Amino acid sequence: MSDLLTIAGKTYSSRLLIGTGKYKDFDETRDAIETSGAEIVTVAIRRTNIGQNADEPNLLDYITPDKYTILPNTAGCYTAEEAVRCCKLARELLDGHDLVKLEVLGDQKTLYPNIIHTVQAAKELIDDGFKVMVYTNDDPIVAKELEDMGCVAVMPLGSLIGSGLGILNPHNIRLIMEEANIPIIVDAGVGTASDAAIAMEMGCDGVLLNSAVAHARKPVLMASAMKKAIEAGRESFLAGRMPRKAYASASSPLDGLSR
């Protein structure tokens, strides 16, 4: 069955997007990401360590741009200006690659998105030719505005970044999906495989996660679990769940029972 995710005109067979942060080392990063089956992989942009040994390993030697769609993020940016600057550096770093994950944060306690700065940065980036996948809150009005501006995917949080609390307001995520014509990807909050499956069963187009795999006791095994959860959730959504009923309904025929 062909069931592809299309983002900015490019198709992907995996609906799991995965981060590269918080792993023990680059070997574990590579193993977990390979196992997850993810094709879109997020990275952060930071100052190069000056004076470090020259053979210090480089993330992009393990997660290579010829194999994966690298999605640079703007994590750590608290203003539109910082986020736009970060995206421009990422584009230069990745030889003109213009797909970015925009996140402009509000404060360190919650890492909640600052929507005013997010909207401002999204506008500047889109005007500059970037394809913007935008991290946002679960407000359906904001999500629609971001779509109308020209973002290529809207990525509402399930719960706070790194919290692992799952999808706290599925009703809002559903409201966002009802109005959307671009991919809606739950980004942040997934703690375990069932959380990812729930997002996909609701009809989300994909899930972006990092900590749930990197902070699992066995990250590579959790990467495998996430791959299956995303696939199971997607198939369950496409299959269409049975209606919920308040009372029992026997699965075996009632007629013909020996008496």
Partner 1 sequence: MKLTVNGDTLTLTGTTIADLVTQLELTGRRLAVEVNREIIPKSQHGEFTLNEGDVVEIVHAIGGG
Please give the positions annotated as active site.
101
Name residue, tokens 């000056």.
50
Could you give the string, one character per residue 4-33, with x where binding to partner 1 holds by CB under 8 A and - elsewhere?
---------------xxxxx-----x----
User: Between residues 4 and 89, which has the closer beta carbon with respect to partner 1?
Assistant: 89
Angle, CA 231 vertex, CA 249 and CA 38 arms, to 5°: 165
User: Between residues 140 and 164, which has the closer beta carbon with respect to partner 1?
Assistant: 164
User: Is residue 75 part of the contact set for partner 1 (CB under 8 A)?
Assistant: yes
| Cβ 165 to partner 1 shortest distance, Å | 16
Count CB-CB contacts under 10 A for residue 123.
17
User: Is residue 160 part of the contact set for partner 1 (CB under 8 A)?
Assistant: no
**How many angstroms separate the CA atoms of 113 and 162, rounded?**
14
Q: Which of 1, 54, 239, 246 binds partner 1 (CB under 8 A)?
A: 54
User: Is residue 35 part of the contact set for partner 1 (CB under 8 A)?
Assistant: no
Q: Which of 205, 210, 222, 230 binds partner 1 (CB under 8 A)?
A: 210
| Cβ 189 to partner 1 shortest distance, Å | 12
User: Is residue 92 part of the contact set for partner 1 (CB under 8 A)?
Assistant: yes
User: Between residues 157 and 198, which has the closer beta carbon with respect to partner 1?
Assistant: 157
User: Is residue 50 part of the contact set for partner 1 (CB under 8 A)?
Assistant: yes
HSE (side-chain half, CA atoms, 13 Å) at 39: 11
User: Between residues 51 and 129, which has the closer beta carbon with respect to partner 1?
Assistant: 51
Q: Is the CB of residue 173 less than 8 Å from the CB of residue 198? A: no
**How many angstroms separate the CA atoms of 135 and 238, rounded?**
25
Q: Is the CB of residue 173 less than 8 Å from the CB of residue 201? A: no
| Cβ 202 to partner 1 shortest distance, Å | 22
Q: Is the CB of residue 29 less than 8 Å from the CB of residue 63? A: yes
User: Between residues 187 and 201, which has the closer beta carbon with respect to partner 1?
Assistant: 187
In a 3-state reduction of DSSP, which class is residue 195? helix
Q: Helices 115-127 and 140-149: crossing angle, nearest 10°?
A: 10
Which residues are CB-contacts of 125 (< 8 A; sequence separation ≥ 6)?
83, 84, 87, 100, 102, 132
- In DSSP terms, which residues pair with 113 in a beta bridge? 105
Q: Which of 211, 225, 229, 234 binds partner 1 (CB under 8 A)?
A: 211
Tell me which residues touch partner 1 (CB under 8 A). Answer: 19-23, 29, 42-48, 50-51, 54, 58-60, 70, 72-73, 75, 85, 88-90, 92-95, 161-162, 208-211
